[in-house]
Amino acid sequence: MTLAELGVGKTAIIASIGGEGALRHRLLEMGLTPRTMVTVRKIAPFGDPIELHLRGYALTIRNEEAAKIEVVEAVS
């Protein structure tokens, strides 16, 4: 499952980051690395982008990118 499919309020563990180039690099640098726990907090009013919570801060990325991040939903 990807981060884009996770749904608001759900938490998951990142398995892998897809995509390439500058964008992928930036995602990794912002802390979206494998084994990191990430929560989807909100979807923007027009349906895109989404707000994430990870490593103690809030980050926003577009659905297009979220769809490239493979996650495993955490059992709460």
Partner 1 sequence: MLIALVGNQNSGKTTLFNQLTGSNQHVGNFPGITVEKKEGSIKKHKELIVVDLPGIYSLSPYTSEEVVTRNFIIQEKPDVILNIVDATNIERNLYLSLQLMQLQTPMVIALNMMDEVKSSGNSIDLINLENELGVPVAPISASKNEGIADLITRIKKTGEEKILPKKIDCCVGEVHKAIHSLTHLIEDHALAAGIPPRFAATKLVEGDELIVASLKLNENEIDIVGHIVKEMETELGTDREAALADSRYSYIEAICEKTVFSENQTKEQIRSVKIDALLTHKYLALPIFLLIMLVIFSLTFGTVGHFLSSLFTQGINFATSFVDNALSQTNVSTWMHSLIVNGIFAGIGSVLSFMPLILLLFFFLSLLEDTGYMARVAFVMDRLLRKIGLSGRSFVPMLIGFGCSVPAIMATRTLSSERDRKMTIILTPFMSCSARLPVYALFCAALFPKYAALVMITLYLMGIAVAILSGLLLKNTAFKGKPIPFVMELPAYRMPSPKSVLFHMWDKGKDFVKRAFTIIFIATIVIWFLRNLDWTFNMTSDPQNSILASIGSFIAPIFKPLGFGDWRAATAIITGLTAKEAIISTFTVLMNTSDTQALISALGTLFTPLSAFAFLTFILLYTPCAAAIAATKREIGSLRGTLFAIGYQTGTAYIVALIVFQVGRLFI
Residues in contact with partner 1 by CB under 8 A are 16-17, 21-31, 33-36, 41-42, 44-49, 51, 55-62, 65
Residues 58-62: contacts with CB within 8 Å, 24+ apart? Answer: 59/30, 59/31, 59/32, 61/27
**Looking at beta carbons only, is 17 or 71 nearer to partner 1?**
17
For 56, which DSSP code? Answer: T
The CA R_g of the chain, rounded to the nearest whole Å, is 11
As measured in angstroms, the least distance from the Cβ of 24 to partner 1 is 7
| Inter-residue contact 68 to 19 (CB < 8 Å) | yes
As measured in angstroms, the least distance from the Cβ of 35 to partner 1 is 8
As measured in angstroms, the least distance from the Cβ of 4 to partner 1 is 14
